[in-house]
Every structure is written in structure tokens, then in C-alpha cells.
Structure 1
Amino acid sequence: MNIKGFIMAALFVCAQGLEASAQDMNEMTYSPNETVFKLHAPANAKRVLVKIYADALDGKPVKTLKMKFNGNNQWTATAKGDFKGRFYTFDIPAFNRGETPGIFAKAVGVNGRRGAIINLEETNPKGWEADKRPPLASPADLVIYELHHRDFSIHPSSGIKNKGKFLALTEDKAIKHLQQLGINAVHILPSFDYASIDETQLHKPQYNWGYDPLNYNVPEGSYSTDPYRPDVRIREFKQMVQALHKAGIRVILDVVYNHTYDLSGSAFQRTWPNYFYRKRTDGTYSDGSGCGNETASEQPLMRQFMIESMRHWVKEYHIDGFRVDLMGVHDIETMNLIQAEMQKIDPSIYIYGEGWSAGACAYPQEKLAMKAHTEQMPGIGAFSDEMRDALRGPFSDDHKPAFLAALDGHEESLKFGIVGAIAHPQVDMSQVNYSKKPWANQPTQMISYVSCHDDMCLTDRIRNSIPGITTAELIKLDLLAQTFVFTSQGVPFMLSGEEMLRDKKGVHNSYCSPDSINELNWTNLERFPKVFAYYKGLIALRKAHPAFRLGNAELVRKHLEFIDAPAKMVAFRLKDHAGGDAAKDIVVLLNANREAQVVDIPQGEYRVMVCDGVVNLDGMGKMSGGKVSVDLQSALILMSL
């Protein structure tokens, strides 16, 4: 057995052991005759109470139960009778930290302060049992579209009725736009119950990305049509998933297990003080998340919590994948156990994350799920900041440009992105930014992107780093950048609205900016039709030609060959019917220079598929091999006849 096989076999055994206790975190089980409560809390809690309320926010308990300690840090209590529609909290007087809905509440009242007693089966929309995740042969076939619920639909021009809601993604206007664009996976920004939005004040405009977790296993109430009814947010989330699945679009959930909104109000702290968080040697709380605290994924209960939480989203909500926020805060072993569990449920579930932390973590660096350790996490992906920053400039300096501004010296970093962060004989790793050795076993472990929610969007970054740029030049560079993304052997990822040439008024960190900064202006589709057509064409081109999505490192090394080109250019060909492609050779020439460039390509007759900002799958004429000219600031893609 090879090393990878040995690791996965060992992790499978560990995951089997965890499965035996999978129900341990099911804190509330309802039936018409009784409701059973269970909580993980230490023996020194001494006394644990369950308080049942008629209201989600106010009033005194209608019933209080004393929980029984059953050993192994488990407490239980049973409320006889039918309590459906009531609300509950756990209270540990000895800790004096306040009441909590528990760490694993699956339904909550408004603002998530109290758990809700409901029958989850009654939240299933019609036909839910028949819902199927769209087929996926390989992560290489994914085209991921990252969106925020409010951004996507809130603008008056969207034509969407349920603005800012889960139900927006069930409407024909939204579905048809996504289908026409051609994406097959929607990555939704945090959609669990988060703390920064007051769900009782939804008549007032409020905005947040949602990276401030409150209840990890319940949909966010502000995205529902009625946050006061616990069943509504659950049902509407499922309706959203169901509608996207029917349209052939997978749903990827952004999960934020690396920190909580705060410490004092955290369900973790109120249930088991200091167990779920890391501390520094001086006793202060570690802050690898940059948000005031960091969770301890290596602790057995935190590890089990993460595994069971993802299992819950997959089983109850039919989620198809996860984007793990600040994955570098978590330990490698936990991420591999999660991957093993998801593969056991469905091998097509895809997990990827940010391969970094926001600060130093109180855990050995070599054990953390950093990008540099991706090789130790088979099947898990990470974002490639090498490609991103080589295209538009470093994250640390919004004014500093790179390849798109026709600066030399970024070609090797882009070649590293083109091959999917794997070892390739033609990539000089000594010239690659950030990474001096390949970090991916397979190209499907690299997320290929140039922009996401976090940072300036692409148009703002180009404007900021190239002062005085015209709109026409901006569009040319925008399209060139995305050509790198969609012809890369990694998994392509785009920010919603880029196909509309969106901007965020130059705001870098718009996590709580108003709608006027974050919203998508759908009239841009009419103002810049060439942009949408090009994005749509690139996606269609990638789907039509398996050579762009080989999904295997050995095949990439065998079939992808870089071509000598002038500075500020990257050129390569996919040769010998790569991936069984109908075209024998595909030649991709990417030119950031402010003038046309001549490149020598293999002899032969070619069909022009992409030229100067236009994509046509039927071809736009023929061209002979030898010396060919590539227009300024654009891509030329040819296919052999």
C-alpha cells in the first residue's frame, strides 16, 4: 500500500470510531410524546438546567429541568409531553456565563438566542426526498461562482422578487442567469446563523459578510422571509438547494469553524469554558483568526463538532461541498478526518479552503492545514495566491501592479498556476512567488482565481494599480486575467458580478459596507455585453474541451507543454489529444504587453477559438502554425484541425 493509501485507510478507521458516537452532539430530539435533551459539559458543571420557553426572546421559563450527569461528560434530561413550537436554553449556574441554545442547535428562534423545538422532517419542501446533487466526475469539472445573498439580488435592476433572501436563488431570473453563464457550482458566503445582523430590525438596511458565527448548524434568519418562525429559514434554505440542484448547479457552503463572534457570548464558552479555544503560553487567548480568538480543532470534541456539523449540512441540507475559512487555523489531522467522512457519504463532495491563517496560532505550524501542507491532505483544495497576485499585484498593497500592467518577472508564477500548483519540469520554482516548491499532489487541489469577496474586486484592483486606465483597456485586462483562470488545470473560481464588470467603489474590505458598495448592478449586463459574452464563452470552452481539465498530475506533465514566448507573455499547448480531446493540439497564448507580440508555434493548421476578447466555439477562421501574432493585452487560443 502506498503512503496516500495508508493515510486514508488509517483515517477511515478513525472516522469509523467517530461515527459510533455521531449522535452524541444531537442536543435536542423531538417526538410528540417527549423531547430529549443532551449536552456535552464537564463534570465540574455540578448542575445543568434545561429551560423551556414559550417565546424566542422574552418571558420566564414555562418549565425547568435538571439534567442528569451520565458520565463521560454527558448530561441528559427528558421533557414529557408535546413541546413542539417552544424554545429552550441550557444553563450552567456554576459557570455564571449565561444561557445558551447549546453548541449544536439545529433550529433557533429570532436572533439565535434560544434553541427551537421542531420536527425537522416537517421543514422538507415537496419533493425533497427525490433531490439529488448534480453529477460530478472530477473537481476539475467544477466552475465555482462565489456569491453573497444580498449582493446578488438586492439592486432594483436585478428583477428578483425575494431580494437578499435564500428564495432569490429559486427564481427564474437568477437561475437562468447562472445557467446562461455556465457555472455549475454556487459558493454561498456564510449562510449559517451569524451574530452581526439584528433579525428583529430587518426593516433597516444591515449588511455583513457573515464571518461571525453564532449557531453553526442553522441557516441565517435575515436571509429568510420570516426569522421569527424557526421552520421558515430551514425550509427556504432547502428550497434554494433544491432549485439549484434542479438547474444542475451544486451548492458549496462557506464554513467558519476557526473562531466565534466573541468569547463571552459563545455557546462553546458557556458550555465548557476554555475547552474549545487555544491559549498562548502566557494564558491569553490565541488569535490566529484575527477576530479575537481561535478554536482548537485538535481537541476531541471540537474535532467531532466540525465533522458532525459538516455531516449535518450534507445530510439535512444536501450540501455538495465546503469552503473552509482560514483553513490554516485548523490542524491537518482534523481536515483529513473530515475529508474521509465526506468521501464516505459521497466521493463527489469537494472541500477547499484558505491555506493560511490571519495571525500566529498557538499550535505547531507543521501540524496546521496551511497551503504548504496541502500534499498531506489528499483531495482537499487550497486557493492559489501565487496566480492571483502574479496577475494583479500583492494582497498587501492595493496600488502595486503585476503582470496585467505589463510588468516582467511574473511568468513563472503564472505557469505554476496554469499547471495547478503541481511539480512540472518547465516551471522554475525558484522564480515563483510565495512558494518555492509545489504544494499540490493533483491539480484539482488548486483553486484558480483572480478575485473573491475578500479584497478588491478585479475591476477596482486594476483601476487602483494602473492609474488613468480607460474603460476599454480595463475590459481587455479583465478578460485576459480570467482567461488564465479558466484555462488553468486548477479548479476555476470567480466572484459573482465579475461577469457584469462589477465594482465596489474601490473598497478593499467591504464586509460591513452598505448595499451601494456591495450590490450587483444588473444594468451592467446591457452596458458591457462583451464581458458577459466572453465569460460565458470561456466557461463553455472549458466544458467543451477536457484538455483544460485533465484532473491528474501525470497527465498534465505529459500533455501540457510551455512554449517560448516574449516577456510579459505566457504560452502553452495541450498536445496529443489531451484528456481524449477531439483537438490534437490546443495552443493558448496570453499577452499582457501593450503591443502585439509574435510567437513561434508548432506547424499545422489551426482554428481560431479565442481572439482579442471574443470567444467562438465554432471558430473564427483559420490560421497556420509558425510565427503568429497575438494582439495586445489579450488571449489567442487555437485548435488544430
Structure 2
Amino acid sequence: MKLKHVILMSVITAAGCSQSQKDGFSSYEDYPVYKGEWEEMVYSPSSTHFALWAPTAQEVRVMLYEQGLGGSAYQMLPMEEETDGMWKVKADGDLNGKFYTFNVKVNDTWLGDTPGVMAKAVGVNGDRAAIIDLDTTDPQGWDADKRPPMKSFSDMIIYEMHHRDFSVDTVSGIKNRGKFLALTEKRTSTYLGEKTGIDHLKELGVTHVQILPSFDFATVDETRLDKPQYNWGYDPKNYNVPEGSYSTDPYKPDVRIREFKQMVMALHQAGIRVIMDVVYNHTAVAEGSNFERTVPGYFYRHTEDGKFADASGCGNETASERAMMRRFMVESVCYWVNEYHIDGFRFDLMAIHDIETMKEIRAALDKIDPTIYIGGEGWAAKAPQLPEDQIALKKNIARMPGIAAFSDEFRDSLRGAWGDDSKGAFLIGKRGFSEGVKFGLAGGVVHPQVQTDSVNGPLRNWAGEPAQMISYMSCHDDMCITDRIRATMPGASVQEQDALLKLGMTAVMTSQGIPFIFAGDEVMRSKFGVANSYASPDSINAIDWRNKTAHRDLFDYTCGLIAVRKAHPAFHLGSASLVGKCLEYLETPSDNVVAFRINGKPEGDTWLNTTVVLNADTAPAEIAVPEGKYWIVCRDGKIDPVMGLGVLNGNKLVVAPRTAMIVHQ
């Protein structure tokens, strides 16, 4: 038998005689694909229509409840099987405000209550779906909400944040701390007058916020929000509903929806787009999940012995290659765009998904708006149950136009490899990492001056275009850059740490890839050495807004870098051909120094022959440049994108130790 047949038989044998066998399904590929509109609940004041795709079911029921939690069902509605595995029933009367679950019978066993797989509104803790009129959840002005303009993915500057981390500190001056509404509050500040919240983001100048998972997740008990609880949210429960703990009232289904929309609208009005972190690669649990209680086995991959496969490292992996799982993912992202005006998606462990599914998602979003961003992790925790040439690995990114991936080569070359926090790299003066830095500065595309057989391992030019590479030093998932510098340079003074942070930030912001900042890195955020802080308390994870005063110089420097990047196309040329043509690496006196020049004046730029030097050495670096007059924008840890820092004449640049220099003609 083929492997897929072995898997299916193994799964169904545990439950006894299979409805799938009775219906003649010899493999998951034989399951019917529903072609109609996939809506599990459609409400009107006169009636509500329920539908559930459950092709292996013997019976399906809808259970109606008065409340989202507690109490027994007041009515049970048997559903009728129609075409392609879809079961349907209509309930007459106005059910607005009621709750419902489905219960599916397979192999003579009722699988238990589930809100379904496509629920759009839920009660507290997401165990029951809610019947509401979604139009009533639109905040005032929602119809006029528009995403801020953007010409190219290369123009992006991403800021990754977690709702709670960003606003829970009492010093922030934010009223709705840890909530969606925190990002709607204007004119918030610390007691020292430093801007916080959305005003901080505007002051910084980023174009996109990337928010850690905001869909309904499993591990926070929404009935006990008086009790300290913390989670990043990488444990999906209901994919198409906002998380209740970030709302002001998780018991009311409309509140979380409306407040999420208010957040998006406020960010749009501030000129900032919103990227949503999505986790379609696994669910919080497999046994008892909404998928498994609807169509057992179908939505997950299995090992040869019939167990749940685990490329996620979280106990299961979903099967994106199957027609209805693929359709689920496509329709889910389109729903977040259409209903919530989301501007982009970051795919967790994207390499668990197959290439064809990711391309279909890209195509579906292109039909809505081709400037909607897709990026993700080009790896998996373990090997997925598909061949490498079929999955969305980083090395396959060039086959997925319009989709970006994180560059661990650039990250590791700057700060040191993941998995060993004691080892530093270029930033602390280690030799042998300059080629990896050059790789990242070129946006991961082929460049004749980047040696792919570098000292610290071969480099692979996997990006087809520079905007397919995400340039970063740290993110939520590992040590933040301040802690990494402290771990790799024990005893370094605050001034030395500040200098290295500025140097690294300069590399990220002058890369041809998409620059990415982890929230708080711009104010020397620390998580006190905790890397995997997904369940750590606020004392570890919260951004200490007093740091903005203590490290105002670093914040101002970062603002200056962002302003320079946004104003000058030299730093986001936008195509591999232009990078190869215009970006020239200059000869340097040491492996701890990287210098490059953007020859000429890119279209739309006001600068000519822009030159950047990154000196990670402990000695000054002298770089030869063509004879001429140069305006200095950045030098000695200072930056002034408007007035500049002076002029120099001649044919050499002298760059102070552990600093960057940016000049132009």
C-alpha cells in the first residue's frame, strides 16, 4: 500500500470500523472537496443557516445555547448531508446573541462539542461559537478605513511586538494596558514625558507593526483574567476570531471583534500597516481539537505508524497539501484582510506548509491588494512529512515570488548563531563573519563580491529579489539583542553595549532586505537573559518605558536611521538586478570591517554615491574612496539625516572603532 493509505488505515483502526471505508475513501485525497461557499453560520433576523464539512460523519447535530459558558443546550438540531460532505440545517427565528456547537458522529462515536473550524465569533474561552451580526461590530468610520499607501515591499520597516509586552508597564501611561485598545490611545507618555504606545511608533517612523498571534488561543483562561497569565499565543484554538484576553470583555463576542478593528483603524490613521502573526502549521492540541472533532485525521499529517507527525515541535503538524486544509488557509487569510483590514501575514514555521499552498495564498491576496505582505520562517522545528522540494523552505523562496523569509545567515553573522548564546560574531569583533554580513546587506541575492564559501560555512543565495529577505538581529523567539551582547561580551559597559547596538541597527537599516526591529531593541530592552520567554511574567517580558529616557540617544539614532532609509532609495533598490549593478563592496583593512557604496544616484534619490562603513574593530578603520567632497550623515554614534554632521574632502574615510559611518556626494 502507499504510505498515505497506511496512515489513513492506522488512524481509523484505533476507532474501529471506518465510515471512510464504508464510503469508499481509500485515501485523504479521495475526500470530497466542497465547491460552494464555506460558511458554517449565516445569520439573518428571520433565520440562521448552519453548515459543516464532515464527509466521514454518520450524523451531525447543532446544539444551541443561551450562554457562551455553562448551562445545557436548549435545543438540538439534526443536520442533513448534502453535496461533497457538507451537512446543513436552517433554524427559524432570530437567534442573535445565542451560541452554538456542532457534534459529529464517526464510527458510531460522538466526537464532542466543537465551535467548528470556521467560527467567526465565540464566547469566553472559545468553546462555543456565537451567533452575531458582524456588521454591528464595525466601529464608527470603519467603512472609510484604508491601508496606508505603499509602493514596494522594499519600502517596509517592520516592528515586531506583543500586545502585553508593549503596553503592560505601568510607566507607559496607557489605560488599556495589555489590550487591543492600548494601540488606540493617543498622547500617552511616561511621567518624564517620553511618548509611548502608538505615538512612540509614529515617532520611531516604522511602516508596519507585526503583532504576535492575536487569534483565539488556548492557554490563557479568559474567565480568570484577574490572575496573572502569560503566553505568546502560538497555540491556536479558533483561527478566525480575535483572542479574548486582549479585549475588555471576553464574555461578549462582539467586543473582541470591535476592539480589534478599532486597533487596526487607529494604526492605519497613524500611517502604520498591520501584520498578523499566523500559526496554521499546528494546533494547541490534536486530540480534541476543532479539526479532529470535525473530520478525524484529515487536517493533520501522520507518521508511518499512524501517530501525529510533529514538525512543529508542538505535538502535531497540519496537512496544507490537502485540498480542504489548503482552502481553509486561503480563506482564513482573506477573511482577516476583508473583515479586519489586515495588511500582511507572518507565517510561523512556514516550511511545514507546501509551496503550492503558499503560492495560492499569494495569488488570492494579490486579487485583493498586491501590496499585502507575506513573510515567514523558512524552516520547521523538525522534518515535515513532505519532500524538501515541496515545502516552503528558505532555500525554495525564489520559487515563491512575493513571499519573504527571515535571514538567519545575516542574524547569526551579526550577533552569533542560534542555540549557543555565549558565542558572538561580527558585532563584538569576531573574525570570519564579514561575508555573512555582506550577504545580508545585499538582501540575500546573488552578488559577485559575496563569497559563498565563507569561513563560517557556505552561504546560499536563496532570495530571488531583495524584498524576499527579512533583515534582523533579534525577534521575540530567542535572546533580544541587548541580552545577546551582554552574554557574548561579559563586563561590557553600557556605553559599549550602546555602540554595538547602534552598529547592528545600522547594518539592518542599510540592508537591501526588509528591515525588522524587535520591540524595545531601540531602547536597549532586556529580558534578563531569558530567551524562550513565552510563559515568563511581565517582570521579564514587559518593555520598561523608563529605558526610553535612559537610552534616548539609542532611540534617536534608530529614528535617524529609519528616516534615512525611508528618504533614500539607495537603501531599498528593490530588485536583484539593481543590487548587482549598483552595490559595490569596498576594500577594508580588516575582516571586522565591511564597507559598501551605492554607485551613482538611484531613481528618486537626492544622494550620489552613498557610502556606508561598518567598523566592528577595536581600532579606527581607514577606507579608500574616490576623490571628492562628501557630506557626513552618520559618524561616531551620531546621525543627522536633515542637517548632516559636516563635510569632508579627499579620498579616504576614517571610521572610529565600533561605529558606523554614512556619507554621500
Is contact 1:97-1:264 (8 Å) kept? no
| Equivalent in the alignment of 2:57 | 45
| Equivalent in the alignment of 1:550 | 573
The superposition leaves residues 280-329 of structure 1 with CA deviations (integer Å, 9 ceiling, x where unpaired) of 12222110001000000000010000000000000000000000000000
**Helix, strand or coil at the partner of 1:269:** coil
The superposition leaves residues 480-522 of structure 1 with CA deviations (integer Å, 9 ceiling, x where unpaired) of 0011100000001101111111000100100000000000010
The superposition leaves residues 349-371 of structure 1 with CA deviations (integer Å, 9 ceiling, x where unpaired) of 01000000001111111101000
| Equivalent in the alignment of 1:213 | 236
1:632 and 2:645 correspond: no
Return the alpha-carbon distance in structure 2 between the equivalents of residues 265 and 223 of structure 1: 25
Q: How does 1:356-367 map onto structure 2 within 5 Å?
A: 356-367=379-390
Tell me the TM-score normalized by structure 2.
0.92
Query: Per-residue deviation at 1:405?
Result: 1.5
**Helix, strand or coil at the partner of 1:39:** strand
2:43 to 30, 46, 52: 30
Query: Per-residue deviation at 1:433?
Result: 5.5
| Equivalent in the alignment of 2:614 | 590
1:423 to 437, 446, 464: 446
Query: Per-residue deviation at 1:469?
Result: 1.1
Return the alpha-carbon distance in structure 1 between the equivalents of residues 455 and 410 of structure 2: 9
**Helix, strand or coil at the partner of 1:51:** strand
Return the alpha-carbon distance in structure 1 between the equivalents of residues 547 and 462 of structure 2: 38
Is contact 1:386-1:433 (8 Å) kept? no
The superposition leaves residues 120-152 of structure 1 with CA deviations (integer Å, 9 ceiling, x where unpaired) of 000000010010000110011111000000000
Q: One-letter code of the match for 2:629?
A: E
Is contact 1:354-1:382 (8 Å) kept? yes
Q: One-letter code of the match for 1:590?
A: L
Q: One-letter code of the match for 2:647?
A: K
1:454 and 2:477 correspond: yes
Is contact 1:547-1:580 (8 Å) kept? no
Q: How does 1:369-408 map onto structure 2 within 5 Å?
A: 369-408=392-431
**Helix, strand or coil at the partner of 2:503:** helix
| Equivalent in the alignment of 2:135 | 121
| Equivalent in the alignment of 1:523 | 546
| Equivalent in the alignment of 1:286 | 309
Query: Per-residue deviation at 1:76?
Result: 0.4
| Equivalent in the alignment of 1:203 | 226
1:437 to 456, 460, 482: 460
Q: One-letter code of the match for 1:34?
A: S
Q: How does 1:599-618 map onto structure 2 within 5 Å?
A: 599-617=623-641, 618=643
| Equivalent in the alignment of 2:603 | 579
Q: How does 1:52-91 map onto structure 2 within 5 Å?
A: 52-91=64-103
Pick closer, same or farther for the CA change 1:432–1:307 going to 2, 3 Å.
farther
Return the alpha-carbon distance in structure 2 between the equivalents of residues 401 and 624 of structure 1: 36
Is contact 1:416-1:432 (8 Å) kept? no
1:136 to 140, 150, 160: 150
Return the alpha-carbon distance in structure 2 between the equivalents of residues 433 and 272 of structure 1: 47
1:413 to 425, 436, 447: 436
| Equivalent in the alignment of 1:112 | 126
Query: Which of structure 1's runs of 4+ aligned residues deviate more than 4 A?
Result: 20-23, 432-435
Q: How does 1:313-352 map onto structure 2 within 5 Å?
A: 313-352=336-375
1:251 and 2:274 correspond: yes
Query: Per-residue deviation at 1:434?
Result: 6.2
Is contact 1:90-1:100 (8 Å) kept? yes
1:569 and 2:593 correspond: yes
Query: Per-residue deviation at 1:415?
Result: 0.5
Unaligned runs of 5+ in 1: 1-19
The superposition leaves residues 29-85 of structure 1 with CA deviations (integer Å, 9 ceiling, x where unpaired) of 00000000011101x311000001001111111111101100311100111100000
**Helix, strand or coil at the partner of 2:313:** coil
Q: One-letter code of the match for 1:60?
A: S
Query: Per-residue deviation at 1:432?
Result: 7.4
User: Does 467-476 or 424-433 show the bigger shift?
Assistant: 424-433
Return the alpha-carbon distance in structure 2 between the equivalents of residues 369 and 93 of structure 1: 35
| Equivalent in the alignment of 2:172 | 158
Return the alpha-carbon distance in structure 2 between the equivalents of residues 519 and 22 of structure 1: 46
Number of aligned residues:
620
Q: Percentage identity across aligned positions?
A: 55
Query: Per-residue deviation at 1:440?
Result: 0.8
The superposition leaves residues 212-248 of structure 1 with CA deviations (integer Å, 9 ceiling, x where unpaired) of 0000000000000000000000000000000000111
Pick closer, same or farther for the CA change 1:77–1:50 going to 2, 3 Å.
same
Q: How does 1:163-174 map onto structure 2 within 5 Å?
A: 163-172=177-186, 173=188, 174=197
Q: One-letter code of the match for 1:84?
A: N
Return the alpha-carbon distance in structure 2 between the equivalents of residues 25 and 162 of structure 1: 36
Is contact 1:22-1:308 (8 Å) kept? no
Return the alpha-carbon distance in structure 1 between the equivalents of residues 393 and 455 of structure 2: 18
**Helix, strand or coil at the partner of 2:614:** strand
Is contact 2:69-2:124 (8 Å) kept? yes
Is contact 1:48-1:66 (8 Å) kept? yes
| Equivalent in the alignment of 2:114 | 100
Pick closer, same or farther for the CA change 1:47–1:188 going to 2, 3 Å.
same
**Helix, strand or coil at the partner of 1:45:** coil
Query: Per-residue deviation at 1:594?
Result: 1.1
Q: One-letter code of the match for 1:98?
A: G
Tell me the TM-score normalized by structure 1.
0.95
| Equivalent in the alignment of 2:519 | 496
Q: One-letter code of the match for 1:196?
A: T
Return the alpha-carbon distance in structure 2 between the equivalents of residues 23 and 291 of structure 1: 33
**Helix, strand or coil at the partner of 1:25:** coil
Pick closer, same or farther for the CA change 1:22–1:635 going to 2, 3 Å.
farther
Return the alpha-carbon distance in structure 2 between the equivalents of residues 484 and 552 of structure 1: 19
Return the alpha-carbon distance in structure 2 between the equivalents of residues 275 and 432 of structure 1: 46
Return the alpha-carbon distance in structure 2 between the equivalents of residues 300 and 612 of structure 1: 56
The structure richer in helix per residue is 1
Return the alpha-carbon distance in structure 2 between the equivalents of residues 434 and 29 of structure 1: 55
Q: One-letter code of the match for 1:613?
A: G
**Helix, strand or coil at the partner of 1:571:** strand
Return the alpha-carbon distance in structure 2 between the equivalents of residues 277 and 451 of structure 1: 31
Unaligned runs of 5+ in 2: 1-32, 189-196
